[in-house]
Every structure is written in structure tokens, then in C-alpha cells.
Amino acid sequence: MSASRLYLDHNATAPLLPEAREAVIEAMALEGNPSSVHAEGRAARALVSRARDHVARLADVPPSQVTFTSGATEAANHVLTPDYRMGRASVNVSRLLVSAVEHPAVLAGGRFAADQIRVLGVDANGRLDLDALEQALSDHDQSTGQVMLALQFANNETGVIQPVREAADLVRSHQGLMMVDAVQAPGRLPISLSGLGADFLILSAHKMGGPKGAGALVSAGETLMPAPLVEGGGQEKGHRCGTENLAAIAGFGAAAASAVTGLDRMPAVASLRDRMEHGMREAAPDILVHGDGVERLANTSFFSLPGLKAETAQIAFDMEGVAVSAGSACSSGKIGESHVLAAMGADAALGAIRVSLGSLQTEEDIDQFLDVFRRINGRRLHRQAAQAAA
């Protein structure tokens, strides 16, 4: 890749941090299995424990409450299940509530049947309708089992921050459970499982500068846990069996440690994002910036240009050396409208471009992006003028 290219797609994958790369290399040099009791095995186990400590510190929980998985998608499928255990007793969760703007891995409902899932609406900025949540909780028949809410901390496309604590208080008042998708939060928002009021949250290493292939399910305790998704040899206390991906977990831990100290860089990132949006509005007064009426992640801008499809704009940016995304990376290459825009009542057919900055982005990067934006927008305006004259 040319050194002149500009990577502005950190919400899809953050570039691997140097410290995470070093941790991966260190782990790959070890010969032992983390479950073995000999010296080599204990050395591998020590790396897993160190990483668990770092992830636990990130989520503000004891290390015993972190279960490593292959990623956030697996963690979501693990926790989104009707089948829970409290000690030896079974606990049934009969209803799953999800917001209409959740990541596809959560919106799919995990191991819940389709008729057990209720999708809740959002407002024009993409924030959960708390009145709709209250109604859904009141409608639930608790004699059939418990109710669970799955809600993002921040949306992966718009960056909009959800009213997680307010939602958690409502869920708690109805004796329900709550899972928070915190994948986009590390290094951008302070995370505390108890502060959010949630029972579980999910994380992904590669969203915070760690390697792909590692994630975590974080629980509020060890008493109530979902039935295992992957069973076998008893690793991760039996919650997630299979030999641990030592290298990916080690890199995950290093990235989590960096994320804990990364929050102080967010005001500067927010200033760059605001400067970028100001420049785009100057060039294209008709631009639509989705979710800009509420609090968003400091690094994220999700915008549409009337008359220019997002897929076309994304290709144009790429050809000019700027990597951005047309919505979630998990839906790239698929033909279909953005469910996030549709839920917000926006023009889903037009789509939107997501720019997601990194913590080390510079003023020069913003200048480069705006130069490209102005050229793409100029071509859009020229086409519109030609069509009007025809």
C-alpha cells in the first residue's frame, strides 16, 4: 500500500498497535499449551492471565469475570441465549429485546428463536426509544421467564452513544438482564460494567488495535452465566472450551492496556472530526450528517450527499487514496440498504459514508481528506447541473 494512502476506517478495524504486535510475537515464540502444568505450559498460562488482567481493568471488573472468545460475534452468540445457569439451577430467558440499530451480530438474536425477539425503535438520531423499551418490558409476561435487553454503548456506523444507564435502570426495575455491546468504546469512552448497570458486555480486540480473532464476554459475576456455546475440555472455566488462541489473546491484552490510557487523546480527535465536518459543510451545504444532534463517538462521522450513492462515493474515495466505509464493514459487498439509516427514518437507499478516525490522526490527514472530498463533491455538483440543464 502506498505511503500516501489515508486510512480512515478505524471502526472497522484499528491498525495493529506496536505493543500488540510485540505481544503477539512474544506469544508465538512460546511452545507450551496454556492448560499444561509443566514450565512451558505455565509460561503460556501467565500470558493469558496477564491479558485477562488488562481486559478486566479496561472493563472495570475482576479478572475472573472475563471469558475469552474468538471475537465479539462469538461473545454475542454466547450471551444471547434463553438458557442460563445459576449454579446447578436453570434460568430461562424467554424474551430478547434489541434496538433496531444494533450490529448484525446482535440483531440476529444469537440462540433465541425469531418469535422470542422484539425489535425496538429509535429516534431520528438513532437513540433507543426509552418509552418503547418501557412498554416492551411492561408487556413481558414474567411467568414465562426473564427478559433481556441487548444494547450498544455506541453505534458502529453513526457513532451515536446510547442511553445505556437509563435503559439499564428500566430493565432492572423489571427484574431483567442486560447485555451491552461495547465493541466501539475502548479508547474512546470510559467503560465500567457496573457503571453501565449491565450484566454482561462484549468486546473485540481488533477494534482497539489488537489482532483479529480475539474477543471477550465480560460478566457482572460468576453465579449467573449463559450456557456454553463451545463445549469441550473445560478451558475458561468451562464457559468457552477449546485451546486458547494464545497469540491473539496476548495482543488483545496489550491493546486493552493501551485503550485504558487512550481516553486523553479523544478531545483532540473530536476537534479534528468537527473541523472535518465543518469543511464538508462549507463545500456541500446540503450534506446530511447522521446523528449529529446527539452525543457521538469523538472519532466518527456518518454522512450522505444527496444524489451520490454511498457505494459510488466509497469507490471514488478509494481511488483517490482514502479508505472509508459505506456503513458497517460487516455488510460491505452486500446488496441492500443500511438497517441503521432505515431505522432512523433516513434515505437508506442512498446510503452513507462513514469516516472513523484514529487517535493519532493529524491536521494534515484532515486536509488530505477534505481535498479529496471537495473533488468528489465537485463532480457531484457538475452532474447535478448537467442533469438540470438537460
Running DSSP on this structure, what letter comes out for residue 202? E
- The catalytically annotated residue of 37, 46, 330, 349 is 330
What pLDDT does 334 receive?
53
What pLDDT does 180 receive?
98
- Asked if 304 and 346 count as a contact pair (C-beta separation under 8 A), the reply is yes
Per-residue exposure over 5-39, b if at least 16 CB sit within 10 Å of its own CB, e if not = ebbbbbbbbbebbebbbebbeebeebebbbeeeee
Q: 241 catalytic, yes or no?
A: no
What pLDDT does 1 receive?
39
Task: Assign 3-state DSSP to the chain and report helix, strand, coil percentages, each to 5.
Answer: 40, 20, 40
What pLDDT does 336 receive?
60
User: What's the CA gap between 389 and 69, in Å, rounded?
Assistant: 58
In terms of Cβ atoms closer than 10 Å to its own Cβ (0-12, 13-18, 19+), residue 364 is exposed
What pLDDT does 337 receive?
79
What pLDDT does 390 receive?
80
pLDDT tens for the 390 residues of the chain, in order: 345 899 999 999 999 999 999 999 999 999 999 999 999 999 999 999 999 999 999 999 999 999 999 999 999 999 999 999 998 899 999 999 999 999 999 999 999 999 999 999 999 999 999 999 999 999 999 999 999 999 999 999 999 999 999 999 999 999 999 999 999 999 999 999 999 999 999 999 999 999 999 999 999 998 999 999 999 989 999 999 999 999 999 999 999 999 999 899 999 999 999 999 999 999 999 999 999 999 999 999 999 999 999 999 999 999 999 999 996 555 445 546 789 999 999 998 899 999 999 999 999 999 999 999 999 999 999 999 998 898
User: What's the CA gap between 167 and 170, in Å, rounded?
Assistant: 5
Q: Where are the domains of the chain?
A: 6-15+263-389
- Asked if 323 and 357 count as a contact pair (C-beta separation under 8 A), the reply is no
User: What's the CA gap between 311 and 325, in Å, rounded?
Assistant: 9
CATH 3.90.1150.10 fits 6-15+263-389, yes or no: yes
What pLDDT does 335 receive?
47
Can you read off the three cell numbers belonging to residue 365? 490527514
pTM for the predicted model, two decimal places: 0.94
Nearest to 221 by CA among 194, 242, 252: 194
Nearest to 178 by CA among 196, 155, 205: 196
